[in-house]
Amino acid sequence: MKVLWTESALSQLQAIHDYIAETSPEYALRMIDRLTNRSIQIAQFPFSGRMVPEYELNEIREMLEWPYRIIYLIQTSESRVEVLAVVHGSRQHLGPIVE
């Protein structure tokens, strides 16, 4: 499957990088690499992530890359996965990431 990152998810990656880079530019790059490299696993095994508890829909999944959650939507009819959000695991509510 092809993995596409939404503009929102890319903005969140940039914000994560910028925040971490304030204290450690090197660690910021490593964290972004870890997060984006999860695309490989998601592309090969899209259902390997768990269902997102807030949505309870089979096609909305998450992959954990501590301390972040990568939330994605599996679109089997189009053979693609859309990364919707990258959020810190401590966030209590996701808000409206899926319409």
pLDDT in tens, 27-69: 999 999 999 999 999 999 999 999 998 888 999 999 999 999 9
CB atoms within 10 A of CB 24: 11
Q: What is the pLDDT of residue 58?
A: 93
Global pTM value: 0.87
- Residue 92 CB burial class (10 angstroms; 0-12, 13-18, ≥19): exposed
Q: What is the pLDDT of residue 41?
A: 94
Q: In terms of DSSP bridges, do strands 80-88 and 2-5 run parallel, antiparallel, or are they unpaired?
A: parallel
pLDDT exceeds cutoff 60 at 92: no
pLDDT exceeds cutoff 70 at 87: yes
Domain 2-88: give its CATH code. Answer: 3.30.2310.20
Residue 17 carries which side chain, given as an amino acid letter?
A: H
pLDDT exceeds cutoff 60 at 96: no
Taking all residues of the chain, what is their mean pLDDT, rounded to a whole number? 91
At 91, the pLDDT band (50, 70, 90 cuts) reads: low
Radius of gyration from C-alpha coordinates of the chain: 13
- Residue 90 CB burial class (10 angstroms; 0-12, 13-18, ≥19): exposed
